[in-house]
Amino acid sequence: MAKEQYHGFATMHMRMPMSSSSLPIQGHCSVDNRRVTLKFPFTGIEFDLPSVPSDQTATDFDFLIRSQKGRDMTVTISRLEDLSAYIGYGREDGDEHAVLTFVFYSPDSPLSRLPKL
């Protein structure tokens, strides 16, 4: 079985101390089979997907991971069929807005032609 590898980008929304504002931090995303690695300038996040992404994954799915703060984070993954890509949102318990977003795509996706930042 061939290894599934995807690359993309990620954004972490960090809350500023003593403020209701959040600061978006841009990073990189890579997926190797089920292992997701999100790298940011001062930190990184790694977790496993419930299954290997595939073209047959047509529906959204949710799963839980433990955040760095020890809180549960619900991650939702959706397939963007027309772009051969996936988008993920991470929401901590009680948070309406995503604290983490990431997009990953295969080498044959139209998104692979975007410049690497």
pLDDT digits (tens, 9 = 90+) for 2-43: 567 899 999 999 877 777 788 899 999 999 999 999 999 988
Domains of the chain: residue spans and CATH:
5-109 (2.40.128)
**What pLDDT does 77 receive?**
93
Q: Is the pLDDT of residue 1 over 60?
A: no
44-80 pLDDT, tens digit per residue, is: 999 999 888 877 766 788 888 886 667 788 999 999 9
Beta bridge partners of 12: 25, 100
| The model's pTM | 0.86
For residue 33, give Cα distances in angstroms to 3, 24, 94, 96, 107.
6, 27, 30, 29, 14
How far is 39 from 65, CA to CA, in rounded Å? 17
